[in-house]
Amino acid sequence: MSRSRPPRIAVVGGTGAVGQTLLGLIEQRGFAHDSVRLIASERSAGRTVPVLGKTVVVEDLRTADFSDVDIAFFSAGTPVSAEWAGKAAGAGALVIDNTNAFRMDPASQLVVPQVNGALLAERPISGIVANPNCSTIPLVRLLRPVHEAYGLRSVYVSTYQAASGGGQNGIDELYDGARSILAGDTAEARRFSQPLAFDVLPAIDVLQADGFTLEERKMRQESRRILDLPGLDLVATCVRVPVENGHSEAVTLECDRPVDAAELARLLDAQDEVKVWREGWPTPRTIVDAPDLVHVGRIRVDPERPNRALLWLVADNLRIGAALNALQIAERAVQEGIA
C-alpha cells in the first residue's frame, strides 16, 4: 500500500489516560497525519476536546464510520476492542490495539518494534496489530539482546506496577484512597480489588485456576510469542503498588553461558532507547525527565552461579508500556507502506 498523503487517524478511547498520552506523543514526535478523530462510548460522545491545536467533537463508537480511517488506535478496554476492532479493520483501517483481545490471535501481529518490528513488512491477515502488555514491552526489549549474547534458559520476574496501569480511574482511586486514610476514613476500592493507598496488592487481573493471575500468564505467553521462543521458561509475580505512574521489575536471568556484569551493562546500554544506570538506580520518580527510555540498574551476576544475572528495570507504563509502543508501531507501519 502506498499513499500520497499522511494517514487519517482515529483514536478509540482518546479521552482516557493512554489515549491522551498517545495524542501528546503524536504532537511531540511530529507524526505526520491528515486528520485525527476521537471516538468513545455514548457517555463521552458529543464532548469537545482540544486535540493538536484543534477542537474535536468526540464521536459515538456505535455510529462511527471507519471507512475513511487509515490507522485506528484502540485503547478503550478489551470488551470494546473485541466487539469493534474487527469491524474497524474490516472497513479498511489498520487497527493498533492496546488490549488483550488479539495478542494471541494467530491472524494478528503482536509487535514491539525494537524486537520484532520486521513483522510489519506485511499487513496482518486480520488487519490488527496488538500492543503487548505494559510490563512485557520493556522486559522483552532487554531479553532479546541477552538471549542473542548468552542464551536464555529461564526468566523470573516480579513486577511493581503503578496505579496508572488501571487508567485514570486507577490514579484517581489511589489519590482518593490516600486522602481518605490520612483523614482517618476508610478507603474504597473501585478500580482495584482492594484499596491501593499505603498498601501493595499481590495479584493483578483475574485469578486463574492454577493460582496465577491473567497478568502473569500474559507476560509468559506474550514474551514467548514476541521473542519467537515458544519454550521460554518465564515465571512472573505481578504486584500493584501505590505509585502514580511507572512500572518497575526485578528480573533474574538464567543463561546458557556465564555472564559478565560489565559486559552485560555495555550490551544493554547499546540498545536503542535504553539507559543503564551505573551509579544509583532508576525509580518511577527519577525517570520522569527521560520517560521514553527503558531504564536499567543494579546489573549483577550471582557470585555462586555465574550463569545467573539479575537486574532492575523501570519504564513509564503509559508511554513505553502503551502509547509510545503503539505510535512506534504506526510509524513503522507507515514506513513499510502497510498503513
Per-residue pLDDT tens for 143-173?
999 999 999 999 999 999 999 999 999 999 9
Tell me, yes or no, whether 192 lies in a domain.
no
Q: Is residue 158 located within the same domain as residue 293? A: yes
Higher pLDDT, 2 or 289: 289
The number of residues making up the chain comes to: 339
Q: Is residue 117 located within the same domain as residue 73? A: yes
**Number of structural domains found in the chain:** 2
3-state SS of the chain? CCCCCCCEEEEECCCCHHHHHHHHHHHHCCCCCCEEEEEECCCCCCCEEEECCEEEECEEHHHCCCCCCCEEEECCCHHHHHHHHHHHHHCCCEEEECCCCCCCCCCCEECCHHHHHHHHHCCCCCCEEECCCCCHHHHHHHHHHHHHHHCEEEEEEEEEECHHHHHHHHHHHHHHHHHHHHCCCCCCCCCCCCCCCCCCECCCCCECCCCCEHHHHHHHHHHHHHHCCCCCEEEEEEEECCCCCCEEEEEEEEECCCCCHHHHHHHHHCCCCEEECCCCCCCCCCCCCCCCCEEEEEEEECCCCCCEEEEEEEECCCHHHHHHHHHHHHHHHHHHCCC
Tell me, yes or no, whether 179 lies in a domain.
no
Q: What is the pLDDT of residues 122-150, one digit of tens each?
A: 999 999 999 999 999 999 999 999 999 99
Tell me, yes or no, whether 2 lies in a domain.
no
Q: Is the model's pLDDT at 248 over the cut of 80?
A: yes
Domain of 117 in residue numbering reads as 8-132+322-336
Q: Is residue 208 located within the same domain as residue 230? A: yes
Q: How far apart (Å, rounded) are the C-alpha atoms in residues 313 and 297?
A: 6
192, three cell numbers: 482495584
pLDDT at 286: 98
Phi/psi region, residue 70 (left: phi>0; alpha: psi -120 to 50; beta: rest), is: alpha
Residue pair 199/243 in contact by the 8 Å Cβ criterion: no
pLDDT at 273: 98
Q: Is residue 310 located within the same domain as residue 328? A: no
If we measure between CA atoms, which residue out of 327, 273, 269 comes closest to residue 299?
269
Q: Is residue 219 located within the same domain as residue 331? A: no
Q: Confidence class of residue 51 from pLDDT cuts 50, 70 and 90? A: confident
Higher pLDDT, 1 or 194: 194
Per the prediction, the chain carries an average pLDDT of 96
pLDDT at 4: 75
Q: Confidence class of residue 254 from pLDDT cuts 50, 70 and 90? A: very high
End-to-end CA distance of the chain: 7
pLDDT at 52: 85
Determine how many CB atoms are found less than 10 A away from the CB of residue 17. Answer: 22
Tell me, yes or no, whether 278 lies in a domain.
yes
Q: Is residue 148 located within the same domain as residue 255? A: yes
pLDDT at 43: 83
pLDDT at 3: 64
Q: Is residue 267 located within the same domain as residue 330? A: no
Tell me, yes or no, whether 19 lies in a domain.
yes
Q: Percentage of residues in the chain with pLDDT exceeding 70?
A: 99
Tell me, yes or no, whether 109 lies in a domain.
yes
Tell me, yes or no, whether 1 lies in a domain.
no
Q: Are strands 274-276 and 294-301 parallel, antiparallel or unpaired?
A: parallel
pLDDT at 138: 98
Q: What is the mean pLDDT of residues 228-235?
A: 98
Q: Confidence class of residue 2 from pLDDT cuts 50, 70 and 90? A: low
Q: What is the pLDDT of residues 282-334, one digit of tens each?
A: 999 999 999 999 999 999 999 999 999 999 999 999 999 999 999 999 999 99
Q: What is the mean pLDDT of residues 83-98?
A: 97
Q: For residue 142, what is the domain's CATH number?
A: 3.30.360.10
Task: Out of 2-11, 188-197, 228-237, pick the least confident.
Answer: 2-11
Q: Is residue 39 located within the same domain as residue 108? A: yes
If we measure between CA atoms, which residue out of 306, 312, 319 comes closest to residue 276?
312
Residue pair 225/113 in contact by the 8 Å Cβ criterion: no
Residues with catalytic annotation? 134, 247
Q: How far apart (Å, rounded) are the C-alpha atoms in residues 139 and 220?
A: 11
Q: Percentage of residues in the chain with pLDDT exceeding 90?
A: 93
Q: Is residue 96 located within the same domain as residue 221? A: no
Q: How far apart (Å, rounded) are the C-alpha atoms in residues 214 and 53?
A: 39
